[in-house]
Amino acid sequence: MKPAPFDYIRPVSLAEACEVLAGDEDARIIAGGQTLIPMLAMRLARPSRLVDVIRLQELRGIRVEDDAIVIGATTRQAEVERSEEARAALPLLAKALPWVGHPPTRNRGTVGGSIANADPSAEIPLVAVTLGADIEIANTSDRTAMPADDFFIGPMLTAVTPGDCVCAVRFPRWQHARVGTGFHEVSARQSDFAFVAAAAQVALDDDSRCIEATLGLGGIGDRALRIDVSALIGHAPSETAIADIVRAAAKDLEASSDLHASASYRRRVAATLGIRALTDAFAEAASERGAGQ
Amino acid sequence: MKISLKVNGQLREADVEPRKTLLDTLREDFLLVGSHAGCEHGVCGACTVLIDGEPSRSCLMFAVQADGYEITTIEGLAPAPGELSVVQDAFCETHGLQCGYCTPGMVLTAHALLEHNDAPSRDDIVEAISGNICRCTGYGQIVEAVEFAADRLRKTNLPRHARSDANNPGKPPFGGNDALGHGVLTAVQPDTPRGGRA
């Protein structure tokens, strides 16, 4: 369990990191290393050099803006978990983070690392897809943003090309007064890879009618998916109405099958967790006091 | 590549290959073999050390990445040679270890938890040690050890007359004897019952 030899470079700026990456196709970025190092140890990955970006201050930090919260790529998961600002502005991510790995891996693992790794069962990519986050990417020539839906392509596969570096994740902030969230997950053991995870966020008006709703499912197929729950908008749905909408949407999902969970099990659990997450979100939003109350 | 890091309060230097993990560097270059190599891919938690005070897996970090950081290993917890920290002592008292392989990681994880939270609930403790595997499955006593250590640490901040004996709530501590130095935990003598304490 020892990695093959590689060169190690610690650039002092993002520009320098991008230059190194552009000049060597086999170079890989390392930040927290909580997924990459096991892959190196098992020799599933053999990069020629590691570009350590964890100390780049320009990639770090949590910034709350009017309509978004921007989390720098090398911000550690534990930092976001502990941040009051992030918890208030992004309650769905706050609910998902305790499911990410274990406390010791969250102390080193980064938000951008989890996004770039694109594990289909990972919680942070699921929240990014559910909320429609934008992923900011830099390379030697420019800095662009890409919707999470386009960024994630398949298992461990993203639209990032060699030479690119994920710099930040921009999660949209909902402006409504009554917002509720729900997050549920089923795995073999606490904090193990999710068989299925469901994330939901809804907003209600003063009469408790739904103005906005989103539901995302992870672990089920080869990437996190957003489920169409627009039928909820304009209603104050009962639990059975939520269940009917989610079941109808989950019925034909393309699900993967493995030793741990069959495709039909995953579809069934996805529907159940989706219903729970939405129900939680509605209940939480209903308990928030609206502006007119 | 040359690195220098603070290990247990001492500045240490080493010349390591980039692929050498912090764990291997601690064990081979600094001869701190208390950090155990278990799975070497981040699953078992036996190699847990504190990096800038936070528990992390030393097998999931290359020594070159740790350059300049402050590392605490199990060797750095005891206040003096031959003594035990409160958490270590609590593990002994409650039989919180069997084969001992997971113990350094468990103790450091518990130590870090109690630095943040001196009154953890059972759930907090279970969550904190969820990344540390004990294959003797002695989790019951380990959780008990952390609860016991938390209780002791809380009481060290109380005036002596306000403390109660952990095992006999309500009873005056130390049999009511409040003489200077009485009831203070003395240095541990290994291989004697209860660490040589009365």
Closest Cα in chain A to B21: A2
Q: Are residues A107 and A165 in the same domain?
A: yes
pLDDT at B194 (0 to 100): 53
Q: What is the pLDDT of residues A66-119, one digit of tens each?
A: 999 999 999 999 999 999 999 999 999 999 999 999 999 999 999 999 999 999
pLDDT of residue B193: 53
* Phi, psi torsion values for B135, nearest 5 degrees: -80, -10
Which residue of A lies nearest to B40 if distances are taken between CA atoms? A1
Phi, psi of A218 (to 5 degrees): -120, 165
The two three-digit tokens of residue B28, written as one number? 């081979």
pLDDT band at B192 (very low <50, low <70, confident <90, very high): low
CB proximity list for B180: less than 8 A, separation 6 or greater: none
Secondary structure (3-state) at A144? strand
Residue at A1 is within a domain: no
* pLDDT at A293 exceeding the cut of 80: no
> Tell me, what's the pLDDT at A24?
94
Q: Coil, strand, or helix at residue A217?
A: strand
CA distance B59 to B45: 9
Range of the domain at A37: 7-52
What is the Cα–Cα distance from A127 to A184, expressed in whole angstroms? 12
Domains of chain B: 2-76 (3.10.20.30), 78-165 (1.10.150.120)
Q: Is the pLDDT of residue B170 over 50?
A: no
Q: Are residues A15 and A100 in the same domain?
A: no
**Nearest-by-Cβ selection for A37 from B1, B39, B60:** B60
d(CA A277, CA A271): 10
- Looking at the fold, whether A161 and A86 belong to one and the same domain comes out as yes
Q: Which residue has the tokens 């069934």?
A: A268
- The three-point CA angle A32-B128-B96 to 5° equals 125
What are A209-238's pLDDT values in tens digits? 999 999 999 999 999 999 999 999 999 999
Distance set, CA A203 to CA A20, A207, A211, A213, A234 (Å) = 45, 11, 6, 6, 11
Domain shared by A80 and A154, yes or no: yes
**Does one domain contain both A269 and A204?**
yes
Q: Which residues pair with B168 in a beta bridge?
A: B165
What residues of A are in contact with residue B55 (Cβ under 8 Å)? Answer: 103-104, 107
Total domains, chain A: 3
Name the pLDDT band for A52 (thresholds 50, 70, 90): very high
Which tens digit of pLDDT belongs to each residue from A191-203? 788 999 999 999 9
> Which residue among A6, A37, A52 sits closest to B42, beta carbon to beta carbon?
A37
- Tell me how many degrees the CA angle A139-A154-A275 measures, rounded to the nearest 5: 120
Q: In what order do the strands lie in the sheet with A210-218?
A: A178-187, A194-204, A210-218, A225-227
Q: Which of B16, B40, B51, B57 to mutate to test the interface with A (most CBs of A within 10 A)?
A: B57
Report CB contact under 8 Å: A38, B56. Answer: no
- Identify the band that residue A251 occupies on the pLDDT scale cut at 50, 70 and 90: confident
Residue, of B170 and A244, whose pLDDT is higher: A244
Distance linking the first and last C-alpha atoms of chain A: 61
Same domain, A93 and A117: yes
Predicted confidence at residue B169, as pLDDT, reads 43
Give, in order, the Cα–Cα distances in Å from A152 to each of A35, A261, B101, B114.
17, 23, 40, 39
Please report the pLDDT score of residue B157 as a whole number.
Answer: 65
Q: Pick the residue from chain B with its C-alpha nearest to A98.
A: B127
Q: Is residue A101 part of a domain?
A: yes
Both A196 and A254 in one domain: the answer is yes
**A62 lies in the same domain as A164:** yes
Chain B residues closer than 8 Å to A108 by CB: 51, 56-57, 60-61
Residue with the bigger pLDDT between A219 and B161: it is A219
**Residue A46 and residue A61 in one domain:** no
Q: Does the residue A293 lie in any domain?
A: no
Q: Do B19 and A7 touch (CB under 8 A)?
A: no
Determine, yes or no, domain membership for A247. Answer: yes
Residue A208 token pair: 């408790």
Q: Is residue A2 part of a domain?
A: no
Whether residue A193 is found in the same domain as residue A90: no
The predicted structure's pLDDT at residue A226: 95
Instruction: Tell whether A164 and A232 lie within a shared domain.
Output: no
CA distances from A151 to A75, A222, A224 (A): 20, 13, 11
- The reply to whether A88 falls in a domain is yes
pLDDT band with cut points at 50, 70 and 90 for residue B191: low
Band (pLDDT 50/70/90 cuts) for residue A162 is confident
Q: Of B40, B109, B131, which has the smallest distance from its Cβ to A105's Cβ?
A: B131
Q: Is residue A257 part of a domain?
A: yes
Measured CB to CB, residues of chain A less than 8 Å from chain B are 1-8, 10, 30, 33-34, 37-38, 40-42, 50, 52, 54, 78, 98, 101-105, 107-108, 190-191
Across chain A, what does the average pLDDT equal?
94
pLDDT above 80 (res B185) = no
Q: Is the pLDDT of residue B118 over 50?
A: yes
**In a domain? residue A189:** yes
ipTM of the complex: 0.92
Mark whether A63 and A165 lie in a shared domain.
yes
Here the CATH number for the domain that contains residue A92 is: 3.30.465.10
